[in-house]
Each structure stands twice: as structure tokens, then as C-alpha cells.
Structure 1
Amino acid sequence: MKVQSSKEFDLKREVEYGTPEQNRAVKEIVAAVQQEGDAGLLRYTEQFDGVSLLPEQLRVTPEELQAAYSRVEDSFVAAIRAAAANIRAFHARQKRNSWMDLQPDGTILGQIIRPLKRVGVYVPGGKAAYPSSVLMNVIPAQIAGVPEIVMVTPPSTGGKAGIDPYILVAAAEAGVTEMYRVGGAQAVAALAYGTASIAPVDKICGPGNIYVALAKREVYGAVDIDSIAGPSEIVVLADDSAEPAYVAADLLSQAEHDEMASAILVTPSQSLADTVAAEVERQLQELPREAIARASIENYGAIIVVESIEEGISVVNRLAPEHLEIIAADPMSLTGSIENAGAIFLGPYSSEPVGDYFAGPNHIIPTNGTARFSSPVDVDDFIKKSSLIYYSKEALLRDGQTIIELARREGLEGHARAIEIRLENEAKGGDGNGQQ
């Protein structure tokens, strides 16, 4: 890894929005599925996945689900259940309730909170399958009260229509109500607009490749989406107390995700910087996904040596990383100065995979510096809010002229008259129904 000062480090990172060809292809796929429904969906599934399906074969059957349980280890089922329990416990604390506030004059103001009715979860099934992401998407929606949670995931390529059994078991344990063997931009379009076989949803969430990301952006507005996720990121802010092997391993835990993943160490210790650089190289040679991790480290990795831990915090806040580890003598004392980070891991034993899999907080976290203004997925992502206004006669008589003033200042006479007619009627002794 290259060791450099903060002055030498370029904080800019290009955001991936796809090539013109990729964008054109996604627009074509989305439009075709919107217009043709199942026919377009099945045609693209055969074209991209090499799997020929009939409409009635899209949905995963209870028998397939039962068979999936027989194909996974009992230890995996136990692990999924333990992780799900932690995720449920954490997200249950986020649940909101509707509320109403009764004023002395009889006015009632409030907010009604309802879950979305139907949510679609995209689960990758190509180069890598991630059962943990199933839990992280589904459980917050389930706690929010979403009654219909739909999963789409690509079938196996090469003519086979199977789905990774670990994905199916995770979905069943999390509470998915419908599962479909379809992926790519065509699956996103089916969720957004609906087909004869797949009813449309209100929101689409979950990670995917660039075509999935572009498709989510294309259908946004017809449905809500969680975000346009970029490559994974980790920043480790560390002082001399950090164990170099731990730091190197944590950097590589993200570098192995993707050639475009970013792994950065920020430290005031030149000694730690040099030792971690050597340790990263040593561990790289033993990593099964060495080629991917090495490309990430060479192109998007860095070790930044700063003058002080305070300067390191400033660098972190400018990076606004997806994952931030603070491995320092007193990490808790530094936390209050961190303004921009998706998830903060404190101390040498809070390795990033603890959050990815088991601790409970959501691992779907803002990337590409968007932690400056956005947050990890949570229960709020699966609810909608309605404002409640019941104005009493006393309140309208008191505030009416003020409302009229504001309406006329904006040139909206109809707004003003809607209030004025009520004030005039009350002045004549009306009964609130326009009668004298």
C-alpha cells in the first residue's frame, strides 16, 4: 500500500454512474418489461442468465424451500437465526408510533405512521450470494409492519433454474412472503411496474451490479428506492496502540469485496503506517480473493500519515466513509468529533465483519461520501407518514386573518377566500355548515 501524507492524498473519488452503453441498455430493458410484462421479463432472463422459464416457474415453491433447508448445514441455520435475533432486537428500538397533540382550543395536530404495503428486495446471485443482506433488508421492513415482502434473485446460469439454497433459507428465516427466480434490470422493472406474475411494489431495496443500480435509478419515482450503492469503503483511524495485523486484516476485509472497493488507513504513526503496509502485502498473498483485493488496494487503497489524531479526524470527516474503525487508546473519546460516517466501530475487537453479520445494526450503509447527508437502512425506510390537522373554530377565528395575509402575499386569492368565507359566515352567526 502507498504511504503518503494527507497533503498528497487525493480525496476525490469518481462516482460510478455507468457507461452510456450501460445506461442505454438499462433504459431499453426497463421499457420492454414495462410494456410487455412477463414476456419481456422471461426473454431477458433467457438472454442474460441462459435460463428458459414459463411464467408459472418464476415463483419459488414451498417444496423448493423445504429442499433448500435440507441442502444447508444445521450450523448455518443456527447462525442465521442468531444473527436475525440480534438484527431484530436492534431495529425494534427504532419503531415509531403515531401521535396526536390536543391543544387547549380543541385543535388536534398529529402524525399517522403506517408501513408500506409491499416492498421488493433484490438479492444478488451472480459472482457472490449474500444471505446476510437478505436479513438486513427484510427484517427492518418486517418490524415496520410491511405485510408483503417480495424477494427477487437471479437463477443459476447455464440453463439451470435453481437458486442458492443459503439465500432461500435466509429469506424464509427473515420472513419473505414471496420469492422469484429473476434478476438484473429486468427484475427491478418487474417490481416497479408489475407483470402478470409479479405484482408491483412500493419500494425496491437491496444491492446489485451496475445494471441493477441503474435500473433502480431509472424506476425511481414510480417506486421508492433505498439508494444507488457504490463500492464498499473502509477507513481505519488508528494510533500507536493498534495491532498492525488487525488493521491490515480489516482493510482487506473490504478490499476483497470488489476491485473498486476502497480501504484507507489514517494514522499519526509512521511506524504503524510502514508496518501495516508490509502486513497488507503479507496477508494479500494468503487471501483466496487476492486478485480482487490487490486491484482494490492498488487503485483505491492508501495509508495516510497525518500530523495528529485531530488532523486524522478532519480527514475522516472529509472522506465520510461507509465504515469507520477507530482503533486507538481511547476510541470513545474521539467519537464525538466524527461528523460523517455510516457506521463507527470502536476498539480492536469491533472488526467491521462484526457489523456485517451479527451485531445488529444494519450493514446497508451510505457509500461514495454520502454519509455526509444519509444514513444506514433502518425501520424508517419502510414507513410513510401522514400529517393530521383538526382545526377548531376558535383557532380559525384567531388565526384566520394571518392565514389570509400570507395567502394574498403569495398571490393565491382562492386560498385567502377559502378562509375568508368561513370568517364571514361565523361573523353572521353561521353554524359551521354555511347556514344562518
Structure 2
Amino acid sequence: MVLGVSGGIAAYKACELLRHFTESGHDVTVVPTAAALEFVGAPTWAALSGKPVSAEVWTGVHEVPHVRLGQSADLVIVAPATADLMAKAAHGLADDLLTNTLLTARCPVVLAPAMHTEMWEHPATTANVATLRSRGVIVIEPAEGRLTGADTGKGRLPDPDEIFEVARDVLARSQSATVTAVHDLAGRQVVVSAGGTRERLDPVRFLGNRSSGRQGYALARAAAARGAEVTLVAANVALPDPAGVKVVRVESTAELRDAVLSAAASADAVVMAAAPADFRPVTTSEVKIKKADDGSAPAITLQQNPDILKEISTHRARPESVIVGFAAETGDATGSVLDLARAKLARKGCDLLVVNDVSGGAVFGSTDNEAVILGADGSAVDVPHGSKSALAHLIWDQVVTRLS
């Protein structure tokens, strides 16, 4: 692969990204711009990659590097990608080795922008990003946080660990799909919910569930790798933000509902991977509930929470949108896991239902999963035991088919 580095202060973070690639066995050629070398010198890149480093097309001319690098790469990723670099890429300018490589690449290209908020939001940058995405380039949304100096806002380079996960996802898909298929969610807006909601009992206690949010985060990361603009509504999740994803944090089911309804208004697809609490207390104590001396327990009266999946399926903000639900089932005297799931699919009115058998606590907190994806059209796709990332892509495959 080719790791391009353009001239921003975040160039030092690309060193960590490079180590992720090399330590996982990838053959990486680092191509910095002249400006990037003002931040991190060529010896650092050469030592970490094990290869000579140049920013000029005139080095090793007999090997035609400005053409060969792009032609032979399985992936080109630029981190950080400055406003200047993206402007050149959008307009086909090629005045150094990196921009020449971008023009000759016929593999997936991923750009991880980093710049000040004003630069990211400038109409010129907005237009350049739209142009690049229309050509199939994956432009990861920058993160929000501390920028250079005292500034804070959107424009921060996403965490190198998460950029690596996006790159690994793109590489995996590119091995078995065309470049067009790799970007099959480009131009789409999707919403994913993740985690488990909490319903407050008193200042220190709550009703909740065991959802870790890992499957929802895998879905968000996979969608970003396929080119989508992703909003992730996260309920009480202790995981790093996926690169290129807008994260909205919520706690209760009511907050989850408000956030999902707001984001779904402009979404092409909504995947409800979160586990909302079905019930909430009728009353909440403003002080900690104390133990009784006689050993008795307080009575807690519950009321049912709104059914978010049924609401967004029945009253769709966009009639052509695709709605995906999840069902964590154990089966009981009334029917098997799949019997209960099919009834739930009909009752909710969604297009797809991902069914997990959670007997004995399976799935929760695990990095792996297995499921059956049921369709409202009567289809059923068995997903064998594997990574949550693999399941995420299979779910998006089903969504893309219906969007098409």
C-alpha cells in the first residue's frame, strides 16, 4: 500500500498508523509531500517503513515511480489529508510524487482530512470533498476536538487506530469486489444506533442491559468504509469513536428516540442495533433509595418505553429508506427463536431483522457474532460464526440490494 502524508501538524500521528500497517504484515511505501517533511523527516519514515522515502518525481526516475506506485498499490491512504492536498486531487493537479500517485491509482483511495474547522467548512473544501466522493474516493469525516493551538472544533485527524480499521475494512472488501462495489454506499446517509439505554431509578442506580455496542460500532465503521455519511447514536458505550463517523451520545430510551428520529429524517437507511430498555420507572427518586431495616425491598412500578423501531418503520421520514432492526431472542414455550423473530419482523414493519440467539448470554460483549438476517420479503440469510465486522458487511450487502 501507499501511505501518503501531507503537510499538517497531524503528520506525526501517521507514524502510529504506519506502525499498525507494518506490524500487521503490510508492505507500505510512504510518500510524503515536501511540506510534510517539515513536520516529520524522511529518516523517520524510512526507519518505520523499511523503505527509502522521497517526495519528488525525480528520484529513481528509471523506475517511473510517479506511475508505478499508483498502478501497483492495493490501497492508497493519505493521513493527514490537508485542504491543499484535497484541492489538488479534486482538480487533477500533479506537481509532486503523491499527487501523481493519486492520479494513477486504480485501487481504493482513502483520505483522512485534518485541518482547522474554518478550512473544513469553507465552500471550496466542501465542493472538493463532494467531487472526490463522487469519483469513489473515501473521504473520512474528520473528528471533533482540540486542534492546533487553543482551537477546538471539527477538523481533527481521527484516531490512528480507527483509521487503520477503516483501511483494513476497505482492503478486505477490495479483495473480493470491484472498486465500485467497495464504495457502494457513497453518497448515502445512514444512521446506526448502538449500545444499551439506561433508565434512571435514582442518582446512582438504573435499569439497563448488557449490550456493549460493538456490533453497532462495527456497522458504523463498515458503512464509513463503504463511503457512507454515517451518524452513530451511541447509548452508554465505552468504545473509541469510529473514524469518519458523527457520534451522538445518549443515555435513556427517550433520548435515543429523539436522536434517531432527528437523524432519520434525511437518512437512506437506519440500522437499529441498539438495545433500548423496554421499560422505565414511573417515578424516579431524586435521592438515593435507602435499604430498609426490615429487609424489605422497594416496589418499583414500570411503564413501557416507546417502540422506536416500529415508529420509524411505520412512519418513515423517507418512504424509500431501508430500516433494519435487531432481535435478541432466547425462544420460549410459545415458539423457537426464529418463530418469535418472524413474528417480531411482521409486528415492527421493518425491512430486515437481524436475529441473535442470546441463550446463556451469548453475543453480548463478544468480538464475534452469528445471526440470521430475515427479510420482509420472506428471505433468510444464515450468517455463520465470525467477526462482528463480517456480519456488519453482510447486513450492508442486504441494505444495498434494497436501496438499489
Quick one: higher RCO (CA 8 Å, sep 6+), 1 or 2? 1
TM tier relative to shorter chain: 0.3 to 0.5
Bigger strand share: 2
Larger radius of gyration: 1
Q: TM-score, normalised by structure 1?
A: 0.31
